[in-house]
Amino acid sequence: MSQPKKTLTLYFVTNDEKQTRKITIPISYFKVAVFMIAFAIISLFAGFIDYFGLLAQSVENKKLKIENINLQKQFQVVEGKLDSLQSALDRVGVITNKLKLITDTHMKDRSERLSFPATVNNADEAARLKNADRMSNEDFYEQDPSINTENPVNTLKGELASEKSSTNYSTLVIKIDEAVKDSMLKEQTVIQLWESLSDSQSLLASTPSIRPARGPIGSRFGYRVDPINGKMKMHAGLDIVVSPGTPVRAPADGVVSFAGWDDFYGKLVSVDHGYGVLTRYAHNSQIYVQVGQKVSKYDVISATGSTGRSTGPHLHYEVRVNGVPVNPLNYILDE
């Protein structure tokens, strides 16, 4: 005989005995029901845990996003400061190279001219200086055009100046390392240059280093189209556009070697600074110095004008080293 199935009887009793109910279900159904209820409860609990976990992760992600935005802004600030630092280092590099160029040029000539040029005391010597100094630009234009007219100053712009802006941390670290390395190299160069110049006070005082007149540059050193005849010719100096009568100041100590009229330059002043360096100031309206006069840096030597072969008021400024015109911008340190 088969055994009767096990059942489970549930009684539902109320205050009213007539409303008492009885439910009988197989025990296997009860177990299945309990299992399903337990599974549902566990699934619901797991869902709540997962939900709150995602919610917490979302909040954390928002915090990380805000921190990331703040870090990007900080990177941009640091990069801006690095750019400013590099610009300052570039300016230091330009001035340092100019000083090196000036001192190297003068030191080579110093063995030949160790003393400051003597004051001209006799008419024969004055005439010799005058004739030697009156070489016009027309004569210079006919010289070999192979003269190098490019600016010899190397501005030393490294990879830091050419790199594109980036918020990448590794790139920023590299840029900082490059800036630090660059600053250390420039510091060492400046120290060496200062030590060299400390023993050369007379050389430094005799080296042109300022702009003789304040004003924008109208025409630079090098080949250009001549404004009068339209031909390509060498421009041996620097044209500074100024109003008539603007004071022209000596850029360094020296002795006036020429002061007078030149058919090409108009009213012309030339100053011999020693060590093979000569400066010229053309197209003046007035001349305040005379041949043989000693002048000091910042002394007013003339007033600007438009005399001679000129198309308008300006100062034509030349620097010549051992008779060869060089770029005057290399001898202007107060930019």
Indicate if 188 and 257 belong to the same structural domain: no
All residues at 6 or more sequence positions from 284 whose CB lies less than 8 Å from its CB, including other chains: 248, 266, 267, 268, 269, 302, 303, 304, 305, 307, 315
Range of the domain at 58: 7-68
Q: For residue 128, tell me if it sits in a domain.
A: no
Q: What is the predicted pLDDT for the residue at 35?
A: 85
Whether the predicted pLDDT of 210 surpasses 60: yes
159 vs 271: CA distance, rounded Å: 42
Whether the predicted pLDDT of 309 surpasses 70: yes
Whether the predicted pLDDT of 108 surpasses 80: no
Indicate if 310 and 249 belong to the same structural domain: yes
In the chain, the amino acid numbered 269 is V
Q: Of 142 and 193, which is predicted with more confidence?
A: 193
Residue 111 pLDDT grade (very low, low, confident, very high; cuts 50, 70, 90): very low
Indicate if 50 and 159 belong to the same structural domain: no
Indicate if 201 and 291 belong to the same structural domain: no
In the chain, the amino acid numbered 206 is S
Q: For residue 146, tell me if it sits in a domain.
A: no
Residue 144 pLDDT grade (very low, low, confident, very high; cuts 50, 70, 90): very low
Q: For residue 255, tell me if it sits in a domain.
A: yes
For residue 257, give the CATH number of its domain: 2.70.70.10
297 vs 273: CA distance, rounded Å: 10
Distance of CA 126 to the CA centre of its chain: 46
What is this structure's pTM?
0.49
Indicate if 245 and 289 belong to the same structural domain: yes
Indicate if 187 and 282 belong to the same structural domain: no
Q: Of 216 and 153, which is predicted with more confidence?
A: 216
Q: For residue 134, tell me if it sits in a domain.
A: no
Indicate if 317 and 253 belong to the same structural domain: yes
Indicate if 78 and 198 belong to the same structural domain: yes
Q: For residue 23, tell me if it sits in a domain.
A: yes
Last residue of a domain, one of 68, 92, 114: 68
| Tokens, residue 214 | 């304040």
Q: What is the predicted pLDDT for the residue at 102?
A: 65
In the chain, the amino acid numbered 315 is L
Q: For residue 137, tell me if it sits in a domain.
A: no
> For 221-278, how does the pLDDT look when each residue is reduced to its tens digit (9 = 90+)?
998 888 777 788 899 999 999 999 999 999 999 999 999 999 999 999 999 998 889 9
> For 113-133, how does the pLDDT look when each residue is reduced to its tens digit (9 = 90+)?
333 333 334 444 445 444 544
Query: How many domains does the chain divide into?
Result: 3
Report phi then psi at 219, rounded to 5.
-145, 135
Mean pLDDT across the chain: 75
Indicate if 223 and 321 belong to the same structural domain: yes
**Angle (nearest 5°) at CA 288 between 319 and 200:** 45
Residue 314 burial (C-beta neighbours within 10 Å; 0-12, 13-18, 19+): buried
Q: What is the predicted pLDDT for the residue at 194?
A: 66
Indicate if 119 and 43 belong to the same structural domain: no
CB atoms within 10 A of CB 14: 9
> For 34-92, how does the pLDDT look when each residue is reduced to its tens digit (9 = 90+)?
888 888 888 888 888 888 888 888 888 888 888 888 888 877 777 777 777 777 777 77
Indicate if 13 and 109 belong to the same structural domain: no
Q: Flag the least confident range among 20-29, 115-124, 282-291.
A: 115-124
> For 156-206, how does the pLDDT look when each residue is reduced to its tens digit (9 = 90+)?
333 333 334 444 666 777 777 777 777 777 767 776 766 666 556 777 778
All residues at 6 or more sequence positions from 28 whose CB lies less than 8 Å from its CB, including other chains: none
**Phi-psi map region of 245: left, alpha, beta (phi>0 left; psi -120 to 50 alpha):** left
- The answer to whether residues 293 and 255 touch, using CB atoms and an 8 Å cutoff, is yes
Q: For residue 327, tell me if it sits in a domain.
A: yes
Last residue of a domain, one of 142, 172, 205: 205
Indicate if 201 and 320 belong to the same structural domain: no
Last residue of a domain, one of 68, 88, 113: 68
Q: For residue 49, tell me if it sits in a domain.
A: yes
